Amino acid sequence: MKKEFAVIGLGRFGGSICRTLVEEGVEVMAIDMDESKVNEFASIASHAVIGNATNESVLKNLGIRNFDHVIVAIGEDIQASILTTLMLKELGVNKITVKAQNDYHEKVLSKIGADFIVHPERDMGKRIAHKIVSSSVLDYLELSDEHSIVEIVANEKLHGNTLIDLDIRANYGINIVAIKREKEVIVSPMAAEVIQNGDILIVIGSDEDLNRFEKKMLQQIR
């Protein structure tokens, strides 16, 4: 059975979610109070509707409670975002994801029961800052305030070592979960796997341990 999603607010974030969901082959209802946005999405989403989401009867008439997942991507109008989330909750929507503008907004959203709260600008900012700061970090994904997954490029210092030689888990408390080597991806590499210069190591651990590893193993010889 196909899952049904509704996206409220078709700015850059909501619009991108809407397009990607459609590409994934799921049914999406796109809602915005701005007619020009709705026209833009009329040929993309399964249904595109003009409506003010802070109006309860609009949400009821759209049958919003029947959707599996509603994404609230109203940006600047924090009051409208909170009110919409509250009504979606009261109407019994199963899963609600909301874009938060700031920490206060997030606090209120979590109090009223939003299931997932996202901060796309803040998260992307952190991700880019990590890449800029370290030339060996290709990508960064925050798992919690203290844990992350990073993609680190192996240099000549690591070249020729097996995972057991480096004993990264014992020495640094982190784990290499996969190695990308050109087009190949080695998932859960064995202890005898030999690292090559240019391999991309996908490493999971605490931020402190990851930093220690990156500095010691990769930066020392530069």
Q: Does 173 bind ligand ATP (CB under 6 A)?
A: no
Task: Determine the interface stretch with ligand ATP among 10-18, 64-72, 138-146, 161-169 (rule: CB under 6 A).
Answer: 10-18
The overall longest dimension of the chain from CA atoms, in Å, is 66
Provide, rounded to whole angstroms, the least separation between the CB of residue 8 and ligand ATP.
6
- Contact call for residue 207 and ligand ATP (CB under 6 A): no
The pair of structure tokens assigned to 144 is 């919690």
**E-assigned strand segments in 1-136:** 4-8, 27-32, 47-50, 69-72, 95-99, 116-118
Span interacting with ligand ATP, options 51-59, 61-69, 141-149, 180-188, rule CB under 6 A:
51-59
Q: Which of 6, 7, 10, 217 binds ligand ATP (CB under 6 A)?
A: 10
Residues 61-90 that bind ligand ATP (CB under 6 A): 73-77, 80
| CB 34, CB 57: distance < 8 Å | no
When asked if residue 41 is in the footprint of ligand ATP (CB under 6 A), the reply is no
Angstrom distance (rounded) from CA 209 to CA 204: 9
Count CB-CB contacts under 10 A for residue 149: 17
Cα 189 → chain centroid: 25
The minimum distance between CB 207 and ligand ATP, in angstroms, equals 28
* Cα 35 from Cα 30, distance rounded (Å): 12
Which position among 3, 4, 11, 211 is part of the footprint of ligand ATP (CB under 6 A)?
11
* Residues binding ligand ATP (CB under 6 A): 8-14, 31-34, 37, 52-54, 73-77, 80
